[in-house]
Structure 1
Amino acid sequence: MALLRSARFPAILLLIAAIAGLIVANSPIGAAVIEFSSAHIGIPQTVVDLSLAHWVSDGLLAIFFFSVSVELQYELTQGELRSFRRAIQPAIAAAGGVIVPIAVYLAITAGSGVESGWPVPTATDIAFALGVLAVFGRGLPASVRVFLLALAILDDIVGIVFIAVLFATDVNFGMLALALLAVVVFAILSRVLDTRARLLVSIALVLLAVATWVLVLASGVHATIAGVLLGLAMAQGPALRVRHAIEPWVNAVVLPVFAFMAALVPIPQVAASALSPAFWGILLALPLGKIVGIAGAGWLAQRFAVGAGAQKLAFGDLLAAGALGGIGFTVSLLLANLAFAGDAFVRDQAILGVLAGSLIALVLAGALVSWRARYHRRLGESIAPAADAQEATA
């Protein structure tokens, strides 16, 4: 279990699952597997009659979003985002990391009819980013990891808002109101969990969570938002315990299965010039837009918005964080599926753009993080003898 809670191994699992999905989709059994992923499972003529692919993206991924929102709740109340002074620099950097990729995407796709994919390159995959940081970042100061964590969480907030607002269809406000009522009851019950009636309360919480998911699904809002609402509403102590308990399953099952299913995309046998502008927009907006946006906005924040005495990062460290932010992967794959749900041809190419753009960002991030880690290790080695000499003469 410790391996599945580490930063490195889950990122490797994600990469393997995505590669496996691509290989299977482009193998002789690819058509059969893709057709199987479209098979419906559930109660016919109801909202829970979903294809296997949708059970993964709407159901399993709601568990991942629950885990993310629990971490978000903690960071907003006790962690790195609990005060304006702590949050201002990563917030401005995150804004740059959203605005610049959107601008790059729209500049490439202008007039093509696929401009609606602009949310896709705005996401950061926190599991991948921290995995690369763990593999290549030995010697980096803790401030870089803290900055990246805050940045990725703020990116998650943006992604959640996009999913909730942009991709809601024919919203049934009655169902949504019932879902919110279930969340309120869930929040109240979670605060009496540590009592003699623990078992009964736990069962009630599970039933309320399932009911909330069904009601959100029925409301027309993307079902993963149920996980977000429940994670934010649950009492922090029990929520952190639940997150700890499900973390290995999220890392070992939920995210790899989603990555495999999302990457079940046939690679089009066409010339590069025939590829959709959505592919090129995402391919460039993820690595390039994120690096320029995060590093540039982070530098401006340090120069003009961060007060004296606040911890600042070197521009090289900001570049490394920007490259890590370009690994969109999980949330970007979900956004690609949502943005082009009505056009399978463009959707598949957008997914390929996410995979290729994230891979480019991963390679760049590995190189930049290694460079900065070596720099900080050398800096530490040069400071240590000077400190020893000063101590000897004191």
Structure 2
Amino acid sequence: MAHIPPRSRGVLEAQAETSYLARRVRLPVQRYIHTEALGGLILLAATIAALIWANSPWYDRYHEILETHLSIDLALFVVDLSLHHWINDGLMALFFFVVGLEIKREVLLGHLSTPRRAALPVIAALGGMAVPAAIYLIFNYGGDGERGWGVPMATDIAFAIGVLALLGRRIPMELRIFLLGVAVVDDLGAIAVIAVAYTESISFAHLAMVAGLVAIVMVANRVGFSHAAATSIIGFLIWVAMLKSGVHATIAGVLFALLIPAQPQYSKERFAQESESLIDDYREALSAGDREHSEAVLGQLEELSQGTESPMERLERLVHPWTSYVILPVFALANAGLHFSDVDLGSVVTGDVTIGVIAGLLFGKVIGITFFPWLASRFGIVELPRSVSWTSVIGVGFLAGIGFTVAIFISGLAFTDPALILNAQFGIMCASVLAGLAGYSILRMTSRSG
């Protein structure tokens, strides 16, 4: 299902009236880009490419490229990171920035905006985080892999929604909303785990810098100051300060997203009222040949029109495609390259970390996402939508077991031992494939029976 954001579609349709390129190329490309399954397919292709490259004769070159150091040396600070860390700490901060925007939108305006609407996905997501972590610890408590309990808590929403999109219109909208709500709360949980559980040491001086920069943005929002370049520079400085504070730098993306204003400058009602009189003024100015006044009126109309979209909505609309089609595939290319040629596969398959991750993602997710809401429904706390069955909830539970990108990301924070990272990521990939197949099969079966 393709869904171009209405604002973007409107701009392209207007441009298509006069531009052959917009009509024949940009508009069709945008329709294709916003097909939900496409993001998952590109992510899958990047993963396969990474696995092939990492197990080819060019394996050494793969790691040489990732270990290439790039630095920014300014008077105030120096940031010197390998390409691998620029991807994991830098590009993924942009990914978590979009995640933060989505969370804020859902909490303020969307599926989590009221307690009644939020109850079902929140309870399901809590179960989908607690049970996988508990199952993982059954296999790893007290062992070398104990720190990896956060790995099976994660859900890759791009893959999960991509699989759901393959089923098309046979899936009720309420079920899709349920999966999105679960994923948003799951993302919030993953952010909390990254910030709390995988922070080794803290520099309070750099955290104070973060607080000062946040205060500047809050004051700017309060007085109505809005300048894209200045805001971007402050966002970058927040990222640098967070990177040097010891708290993982991706948290800067979430923090900065929460600072983006969620309310438009002008209401749509005000635009409707004022635009009519401004258009009349524009016609009068044209009739009188008053070019200067007509241009001024166009400026007012432009400001009114742009002001009806909040900065939060605009940034999510513009940045989201970049995360889906650039950032996440690049992350997969840099992190999914598991090297098996010199590895004892038997020890990897039977390792406690591997088993814990597979069991947590494949079984823990579906148990938590199904049992917690079912228990809550017995007590009258939540109620399933009429078009959603418990069997389809089980299918969604399996789709949530597609951990992939976020789970791989957390595994790199949890472990420093390459063997444990390999075991965790092997388990993530196996569980994600099996969970995706199981979820697709169950939902396809329920959609046929429905």
TM-score between both structures, scaled by the size of structure 1:
0.89
Deviation at 1:283, TM superposition (A): 1.7
| Higher mean C-alpha displacement, 142-151 vs 271-280 | 271-280
Aligned counterpart, 2:319: 246
Aligned counterpart, 1:152: 183
Deviation at 1:370, TM superposition (A): 1.1
Root mean square deviation, CA, Å? 2.0
Deviation at 1:286, TM superposition (A): 0.7
**Which digits, 9 at most, give the CA deviation of each residue in 1:30-52, with x for residues without a partner?**
12211220121114796511110
Q: 1:348 aligns with which of 409, 415, 422?
A: 422
Structure 2 residue 436 is the aligned partner of structure 1 residue 362 = yes
Cα distance, 1:135–1:374 mapped onto 2, change above 3 Å: same
Aligned counterpart, 2:212: 181
Structure 2 residue 95 is the aligned partner of structure 1 residue 60 = no
Structure 2 residue 106 is the aligned partner of structure 1 residue 33 = no
Structure 2 residue 120 is the aligned partner of structure 1 residue 89 = yes
Q: 1:220 aligns with which of 221, 231, 246?
A: 246
Cα distance, 1:144–1:128 mapped onto 2, change above 3 Å: same
**Retained in 1: the 8 A contact 2:402–2:432?**
yes
**Retained in 1: the 8 A contact 2:207–2:241?**
yes
For the residues of structure 2 that align with 1:191 and 1:9, how far apart are their CA atoms? 39
For the residues of structure 2 that align with 1:51 and 1:111, how far apart are their CA atoms? 33
Q: 2:44 aligns with which of 1, 10, 15?
A: 15
Aligned counterpart, 1:210: 236
| Higher mean C-alpha displacement, 99-108 vs 184-193 | 184-193
**Which digits, 9 at most, give the CA deviation of each residue in 1:303-349, with x for residues without a partner?**
22435797683210110110111011111111000001x21121122
Aligned counterpart, 2:447: 373
Deviation at 1:161, TM superposition (A): 0.2
**Retained in 2: the 8 A contact 1:5–1:247?**
no
**Retained in 2: the 8 A contact 1:98–1:122?**
yes
Question: Percent identity over the alignment?
Answer: 38
**Retained in 2: the 8 A contact 1:96–1:293?**
yes
Aligned counterpart, 2:172: 141
Cα distance, 1:326–1:308 mapped onto 2, change above 3 Å: closer
TM-score between both structures, scaled by the size of structure 2:
0.78
Q: Amino acid of the residue matched to residue 389 of structure 2?
A: A
Aligned residue for 1:327, secondary structure, equals coil
Aligned counterpart, 2:102: 71
| Higher mean C-alpha displacement, 181-190 vs 316-325 | 181-190
**Which digits, 9 at most, give the CA deviation of each residue in 1:65-102, with x for residues without a partner?**
11111111011011111111111111111111111111
For the residues of structure 2 that align with 1:363 and 1:47, how far apart are their CA atoms? 46
Q: 1:117 aligns with which of 127, 141, 148?
A: 148
**Retained in 2: the 8 A contact 1:93–1:301?**
no
Q: Give the number of the structure with larger relative contact order, counting CA–CA contacts within 8 Å between residues 6 or more apart.
A: 1
The higher radius of gyration belongs to 2
Aligned counterpart, 1:280: 355
Deviation at 1:274, TM superposition (A): 5.3
**Retained in 1: the 8 A contact 2:353–2:424?**
yes
Q: Amino acid of the residue matched to residue 3 of structure 1?
A: Y
Cα distance, 1:228–1:98 mapped onto 2, change above 3 Å: same
**Which digits, 9 at most, give the CA deviation of each residue in 1:132-177, with x for residues without a partner?**
1111253121110111111000000000000111112221112112
**Retained in 2: the 8 A contact 1:89–1:302?**
no
Aligned residue for 1:112, secondary structure, equals coil
Aligned residue for 1:269, secondary structure, equals coil
Deviation at 1:53, TM superposition (A): 0.5
Cα distance, 1:314–1:345 mapped onto 2, change above 3 Å: same
Aligned residue for 1:119, secondary structure, equals helix
For the residues of structure 1 that align with 2:386 and 2:221, how far apart are their CA atoms? 37
For the residues of structure 2 that align with 1:24 and 1:331, how far apart are their CA atoms? 22
**Which digits, 9 at most, give the CA deviation of each residue in 1:111-133, with x for residues without a partner?**
43211111000011111111111
Aligned residue for 1:138, secondary structure, equals helix
| Higher mean C-alpha displacement, 53-62 vs 279-288 | 279-288
Aligned residue for 1:49, secondary structure, equals strand
Count of aligned residue pairs for this structure pair? 370
Unaligned stretches of 5+ in structure 2? 1-29, 263-309
Deviation at 1:110, TM superposition (A): 3.6
**Retained in 1: the 8 A contact 2:172–2:387?**
no
Deviation at 1:2, TM superposition (A): 3.2
Aligned counterpart, 1:262: 335
Deviation at 1:270, TM superposition (A): 1.4
Q: 1:169 aligns with which of 194, 200, 212?
A: 200
| Higher mean C-alpha displacement, 253-262 vs 164-173 | 164-173
**Retained in 2: the 8 A contact 1:327–1:357?**
yes
Cα distance, 1:248–1:269 mapped onto 2, change above 3 Å: same
Cα distance, 1:306–1:110 mapped onto 2, change above 3 Å: same
For the residues of structure 2 that align with 1:118 and 1:308, how far apart are their CA atoms? 30
Q: Amino acid of the residue matched to residue 204 of structure 1?
A: A
Cα distance, 1:298–1:181 mapped onto 2, change above 3 Å: same
1:310-321 correspondence to structure 2 within 5 Å: 313-321=388-396
Aligned residue for 1:118, secondary structure, equals helix
